[in-house]
Amino acid sequence: MKLNFDSSDDKHSIYLNNRRQRNSAVYLNFHIPIFNSGIEYSDISIAKSLQQQEKYNFEAEKNNTYNSIFKCVSKIKNFHTMYKSSKMLEEANKTYFESIEREEKLGTKSLIDLLIAKKEFYSTKVNKINYYYEKIYSGFELKAEIGELIQ
């Protein structure tokens, strides 16, 4: 019995060599990894670059997440501020509407002035409600960005 033994970087070289010779003898092919991690010596540079690429990808994704969370928090703050200002504007328009209503009853203002004041009052009410719901919606967007919202 003749045993072909060869060492090579290619892990299938002995098998291919025996097939070329049409040798029906038993053959052994040893493949010994250098590290316990299973990374072969020839793949160390590839693994290192893949690890570096994964690190860069992770950092980029982390930065994107931070930026989107920052945008959501900014939107919430903006809508909260707009909601507070629209509440104050609503109170001012309510007072204006009530005064125009009294003046219209006295005859110093026309019905058109009263309708314009009423329209402004109700439009500020609608804006206040819209800002309130936008603030709530932005809170849900923030929860989704953080990952607390179940999909």
Question: Is 32's pLDDT higher than 90?
Answer: no
Asked if residue 117 lies in contact with residue 96, where contact means CB atoms within 8 angstroms, the answer is: yes
Reported as a pLDDT band with limits 50, 70 and 90, residue 10 is: low
**What are the structure tokens assigned to 119, written together?**
């329209």
**What are the structure tokens assigned to 76, written together?**
């919430």
Q: Tell me, what's the pLDDT at 1?
A: 46
Distance of CA 93 to the CA centre of its chain: 40
**∠ CA 84-87-92, rounded to 5°:** 130
Instruction: Write the pLDDT tens digit of every residue in 34-83.
Output: 555 555 555 556 667 777 888 888 888 888 888 888 888 899 999 999 99
